[in-house]
């Protein structure tokens, strides 16, 4: 299986939470965006209010060193 990286919004509740758990359980790397933090989130989680345009822009300005290596 090829490990992929997924970005999930609304990642700490409902469908977003269930999707994040399924993807992580299948061996994928999950980056979650949510308004609140969850210490049990199965990946990297950023607390961002997407209705705030500056906070959204800052959240998506990710350094390449913050992502998992794809080298084997």
Residue 56 lies in a domain: no
Q: How far apart, in Å, are the Cα atoms of 11 and each of 3, 45, 49, 66, 71?
A: 19, 8, 12, 19, 27
> What total of structural domains would you count in the chain?
1
**What is the span of the domain harbouring residue 12?**
5-51
pLDDT tens-digit series, residues 13-71: 999 999 999 999 999 999 999 999 999 999 999 999 888 999 888 877 765 566 666 65
Higher-confidence residue: 6 or 61?
A: 6
pLDDT tens-digit series, residues 16-26: 999 999 999 99
Q: What is the pTM of this model?
A: 0.75
Return the SS3 of 64. helix
């Amino acid at each position: 299986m090829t490990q992929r990286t997924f970005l999930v919004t609304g990642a700490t509740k409902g469908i977003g939470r269930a999707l994040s758990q399924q993807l992580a359980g299948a061996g994928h790397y999950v980056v979650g965006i949510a308004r609140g933090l969850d210490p049990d989130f199965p990946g990297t989680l950023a607390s961002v209010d997407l209705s705030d345009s500056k906070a959204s822009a800052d959240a998506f300005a990710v350094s390449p060193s913050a992502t998992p290596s794809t080298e084997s």
